[in-house]
Structure formats: structure tokens, C-alpha cells
């Protein structure tokens, strides 16, 4: 169960279904409330019209027993004392109005007719006088909810209470009811539709979301499966499939392939490094072992100078390999400030045929590593120069440029990038190299890049090689 709900597709389906469910419930509640409110308002308007019809008759001076009351709707006429003075004929029970009485109470003095107490000859005049002073319709209709039973049928009603001033009869209130059957029927029908339709709609939403997310996540599963296969086979040459959707998943696949390519390059570079280092270490170690074995068997034949030379070569190679390992591990060069011009003069001191023209310029980083770069460049120039090596340090905008030039044969344009690869030595260099392993220039460029700079080679004015080290000028 946890695995099912742990998948992105399951969580997306569940989340979408919950969101739609909440939206449907909210929308359904709003529809039901609006529908009920509208139907209640219609029932109230109907009740108000019925009450106003009775109010108009009372205002015209009609007697209580002569009122034309709606037989299908409950109607009550209540005086100021809360006494029922008129009601629908078939009204059997009522609630929600000022009184639950259903039969009018008799009035003393014959005022129930509203016709007066004079002689018969004066009846018409009295009636005309009563109508002329009958009364007026009051203001302020009030509504309430209740129920009533008419001719044996009970129902809920919306009651409207309309006041009227009925002349000598005083203030009266007419209560009339509007049936709520339509409201209840419509609300029940809408609720039934929602209870049936909402689950079906949620099922459709869940199914569509499940299918859409399955289709959307299919490339991700392909990427995962291919990555698992690459991990199991350790074949970094393989690549994950890139979907043609041009979306986030496609960009993820492209980024994954770029990462795999960089990892493959790094692993292959590391393998070549280990193989080349083993090869380079094997030669001085074998030579040193041979000399020591000869010295043990024949002390008089021991070549101490050769043994020391091999030991020094082995020590230098080990130092180069250690520095490369630290650079590959991402060792930060630090942020110490130092004078590159002074460092160039220091590295060139005591070297034959080296001319220095270095102005003061401060850079940031590791003084020892930058000094190693200058040393390697000077050693390389000394091996290839015919007679002279020139070192210059200058500033160009935000950069400090240290240039080392010789008057040798230079570097062919096709080889100007290859010479910075590890353990690479050109044929001419190999014949004249007095112990170099092809790591000096590779170390120099790696250090330059780690310091935020560059190291390039070109043609010197004297025809030889011109190496230019560019480092950011310290602020």
C-alpha cells in the first residue's frame, strides 16, 4: 500500500481527485444555497401577493366574514391583541405565525362585520362612511417559515406578515403562506443529481489523471531504467533516451546525458592518468632497482650519480602526480595576494640566458602553485631555446599577463592544444627531454584554470614558442 501511494502517479491522481472533490462540494453547496434562496424568495413573493390582496380588501372596509381568502394557501388576520379575526375556511393547523389559532374568535358588539350599529335605513350611508374611512396599508413586510394543514394536507410554507390600518377596527396583520413544495422538490432533485453525478465525475477525473500522468511519466521510467542498467553494467558510454516532447522531462534527459558524458570523460581521463603514471613510474623505479641490485652484487660498479638522478626524477614525478591529484580533487587555490612580477624575477633568478622585464602586479591565489607554473614554463623554454629566454609581466585591463618566450623552433599550430594534455611529449621534445614526463604543461594549465585564468601558446617574435599566463588582477 505504501508503495502504491509512494509513486508520483498515485499522488498526482489522489491530489487531483481531492482538489476536484473539494471544488465540486463547494460548487454544489453554492448551487443548492442559491437555488434554495431563489425558491424561498419566490415563495415569499407569492405569500406577499396573497397577503396584500387580503390587505387591500381590509383597507377597502370589507367585513371579516366577507373577505375573499385563498382556499389553497393558509391565511390569517390577527388584530393588535393577537386575536384571530379571520382565517382560511379549510385551515386545520398552523405554525410560524403570531398565533396557532385556526378559527376566528367572535367579537362583542357586532364589530366583526365592520358595518356599524345604525338603523337599516342608514346602512348604505354607514357603509359608504366606513369605506371612506376604512384604512390604509402599512409598511414593513416581515417573513417567517412554518407549516400548515389545509383540508388534511400538511406542508411547509413561507409566511409573509403585512400590516394594515383598518380604520375603527384598528391595526391588523395579515399572514399568508407561500408553499415551499417547489423549493424542497428542486433542492432534493439537485441534491440527488449531485450525489449520483459527483462520484461519477470524480471517477472520470481520477481515471484521466492516472492515464495522463502515466503517459507523462513514461519517459521518466525509461530514464530510470536506463540509469539502473548503466549502474549495473558500469558502461558509461550508454545514454538515456531523450523524448521528443521538448518539456522538463526532455531537458532532464539531456542534462542526464551531459552528466554521463562528463562522468565518462572524467573516468577515462582518470584511467589514462593511472595507466600513464604507472608507465612513467615503472622506468625510474626499474632503473633504480637495477643499479641497487648491481651495487649489492658488485659494489665497485654502483653508479651513485645515476641512482641519485633516478631518485630525483622519481621524486619530481611523484610530486607532479600528487599535485595533479589535488587539482583533480578540487583543491581551492586560496585567496592570498602576491606580486606576480616579483615571483617571476624570483623564479628566473640564476637561470642562464633568461631576461626578465616584469612590472609589479598583484594577483590572488596560491603563490606556490603559480610559482610552479612559472617554473614549468621556464624549464620547458630552457629545454627548447637556442640561446635566449625572455620573461615579461604586464597588465592588460583587469588581467595580469606573464609571458615566457624562447628563440627555439616553436610549437606547430596543430600541436598547440595537445601539448597541454597529460603525459604528452612531442617527438622532438622526447629526444631532448632530460627526464620530463609530459606533466609540466598540463599542471601549468590546470593551475591557471583553477585560478580563474588561462594559459595559451603562440609564436614568439624571435620565432620560438610564446606561453602567456593570464590571471585576474587582485582588487
pLDDT on residue 115: 37
CB 141 within 8 Å of CB 164: no
Q: Is 376 helix (H, G, I), strand (E, B) or coil?
A: helix
3-state SS class at 221: helix
Residues sharing a CB contact under 8 Å with residue 265, sequence separation 6 or more, in sequence order: none
Give percent helix, percent strand, percent coil of the chain, each to the nearest 5.
55, 20, 25
Task: Give the range among 19-28, 124-133, 342-351 with minimum mean pLDDT.
Answer: 124-133
Q: Under DSSP, is residue 140 helix (H, G, I), strand (E, B) or coil?
A: coil
pLDDT for 6: 55
pLDDT in tens, 252-263: 999 999 999 988
Confidence bin at 27 (pLDDT 50/70/90): very high
- Of 101-105, 271-275, 399-403, minimum mean pLDDT range: 271-275
Shared domain for 141 and 287, answered yes or no, is no
Find the domain containing 87 and state its range.
26-185
Q: Name the pLDDT band for 403 (thresholds 50, 70, 90).
A: very high
- Residues 381, 453, single domain; the answer is yes
Number of domains in the chain: 3
Residue 230 located in a structural domain: no
* pLDDT category of residue 435 using cuts at 50, 70 and 90: very low
The span from the CA of 220 to the CA of 89, in Å, is: 79
pLDDT class of 161 with cuts at 50, 70, 90: very high
Q: Percent of the chain scored above 90 by pLDDT?
A: 37
C-alpha cell at 392: 615579461
324 & 360 share domain = no
pLDDT surpasses 90 at 390: yes
Residues 430 and 385 in one domain: yes
Residue 130 in this model has a pLDDT that exceeds 50: no
Span 441-457, pLDDT tens digits? 988 999 999 999 999 99
Higher pLDDT: 401 or 106? It is 401
**Among the ranges given (160-174, 389-403, 431-445, 453-467), the one the predictor scored with the smallest mean pLDDT:** 431-445
Q: What is the pLDDT of residue 105?
A: 78
Share of the chain above pLDDT 70, in %: 89
208 in any annotated domain: no
Return the pLDDT at 7: 77
**pLDDT given for residue 470 in this prediction:** 96
Residue ending a domain, choose from 328, 349, 371: 328
Q: How far apart are CA 80 and CA 172, in angstroms?
A: 6
Distance CA 409, CA 460 (A): 10
pLDDT-derived band at 199, boundaries 50, 70, 90: very high
Q: Which residues contact residue 57 at a Cβ distance below 8 angstroms, ignoring those fewer than 6 apart?
A: 67, 68
- Do both 85 and 144 map to the same domain? yes
pLDDT band of residue 67 (cuts 50, 70, 90) is confident
- What pLDDT score was predicted for residue 136? 54
Residues 136 and 152 in one domain: yes
Angstrom distance (rounded) from CA 426 to CA 438: 9
203 in Cβ contact with 20 (< 8 Å): no
Same domain for 413 and 446? Answer: yes
454-467: pLDDT as tens digits? 999 999 988 899 99
Same domain, 177 and 46: yes
The answer to whether 288 touches 311, Cβ cutoff 8 Å, is: yes
11 part of a folded domain: no
282-287: Cβ within 8 A, 24+ apart: 284/310, 284/311, 284/313, 284/314, 284/317, 285/314
Tens of pLDDT, residue by residue over 33-54, are 998 889 888 998 999 999 999 9
Are residues 170 and 299 both part of a single domain? no
CA–CA separation, 405 vs 344, rounded Å? 13
Residue 260 lies in a domain: yes
| Residue 299 CB neighbour total at 10 angstroms | 8
Residues 344 and 278 in one domain: no
Res 93: pLDDT: 93
The backbone region for 209, taken as left when phi is positive above 0, alpha when psi lies in -120 to 50, beta otherwise, is alpha
Of the candidates 177, 196, 190, 141, the residue with the CA atom closest to the CA atom of residue 34: 190
pLDDT above 70 (res 137)? no
Per-residue pLDDT band at 139 (split at 50, 70, 90): low
Section 80-93 average pLDDT: 89
Amino acid at each position: 500500500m505504501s508503495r502504491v501511494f509512494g509513486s508520483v502517479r498515485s499522488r498526482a491522481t489522489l491530489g487531483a481527485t481531492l482538489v476536484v472533490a473539494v471544488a465540486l462540494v463547494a460548487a454544489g453547496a453554492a448551487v443548492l444555497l442559491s437555488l434554495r434562496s431563489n425558491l424561498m424568495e419566490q415563495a415569499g413573493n407569492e405569500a406577499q401577493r396573497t397577503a396584500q390582496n387580503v390587505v387591500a380588501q381590509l383597507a377597502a372596509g370589507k367585513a371579516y366574514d366577507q373577505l375573499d381568502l385563498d382556499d389553497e394557501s393558509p391565511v390569517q388576520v390577527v388584530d393588535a391583541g393577537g386575536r384571530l379575526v379571520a382565517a382560511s375556511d379549510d385551515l386545520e393547523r398552523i405554525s410560524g405565525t403570531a398565533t396557532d389559532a385556526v378559527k376566528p374568535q367572535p367579537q362583542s358588539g357586532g364589530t366583526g362585520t365592520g358595518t356599524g350599529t345604525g338603523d337599516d335605513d342608514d346602512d348604505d350611508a354607514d357603509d359608504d362612511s366606513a369605506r371612506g374611512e376604512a384604512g390604509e396599508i402599512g409598511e414593513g413586510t416581515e417573513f417567517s417559515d412554518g407549516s400548515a394543514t389545509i383540508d388534511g394536507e400538511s406542508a411547509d410554507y413561507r409566511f409573509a406578515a403585512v400590516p394594515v390600518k383598518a380604520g375603527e377596527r384598528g391595526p391588523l396583520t395579515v399572514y399568508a403562506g407561500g408553499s415551499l413544495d417547489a423549493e424542497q422538490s428542486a433542492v432534493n432533485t439537485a441534491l440527488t443529481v449531485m450525489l449520483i453525478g459527483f462520484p461519477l465525475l470524480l471517477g472520470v477525473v481520477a481515471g484521466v489523471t492516472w492515464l495522463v500522468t502515466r503517459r507523462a511519466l513514461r519517459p521518466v521510467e525509461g530514464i530510470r531504467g536506463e540509469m539502473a542498467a548503466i549502474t549495473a553494467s558500469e558502461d558509461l558510454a550508454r545514454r538515456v533516451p531523450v523524448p521528443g516532447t521538448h518539456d522538463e522531462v526532455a531537458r532532464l534527459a539531456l542534462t542526464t546525458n551531459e552528466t554521463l558524458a562528463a562522468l565518462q570523460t572524467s573516468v577515462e581521463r582518470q584511467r589514462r592518468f593511472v595507466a600513464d603514471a604507472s608507465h612513467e613510474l615503472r622506468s625510474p623505479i626499474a632503473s633504480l632497482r637495477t643499479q641497487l641490485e648491481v651495487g649489492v652484487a658488485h659494489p665497485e660498479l654502483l653508479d651513485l650519480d645515476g641512482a641519485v638522478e633516478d631518485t630525483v626524477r622519481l621524486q619530481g614525478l611523484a610530486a607532479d602526480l600528487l599535485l595533479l591529484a589535488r587539482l583533480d580533487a578540487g583543491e581551492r587555490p586560496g585567496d592570498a595576494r602576491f606580486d606576480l612580477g616579483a615571483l617571476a624575477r624570483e623564479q628566473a633568478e640564476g637561470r642562464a640566458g633568461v631576461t626578465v622585464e616584469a612590472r609589479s602586479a598583484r594577483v590572488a591565489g596560491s603563490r606556490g602553485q603559480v610559482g610552479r607554473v612559472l617554473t614549468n614554463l621556464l624549464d620547458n623554454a630552457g629545454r627548447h631555446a637556442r640561446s635566449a629566454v625572455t620573461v615579461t609581466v604586464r597588465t592588460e585591463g583587469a588581467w595580469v599577463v606573464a609571458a615566457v618566450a624562447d628563440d627555439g623552433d616553436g610549437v606547430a599550430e596543430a600541436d598547440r592544444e595537445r601539448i597541454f594534455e597529460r603525459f604528452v611529449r612531442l617527438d622532438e621534445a622526447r629526444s631532448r627531454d632530460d627526464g620530463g614526463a609530459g606533466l609540466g604543461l598540463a599542471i601549468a594549465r590546470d593551475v591557471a584554470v583553477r585560478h580563474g585564468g588561462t594559459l595559451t601558446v603562440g609564436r614568439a617574435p624571435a620565432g620560438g614558442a610564446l606561453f602567456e599566463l593570464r590571471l585576474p588582477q587582485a582588487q
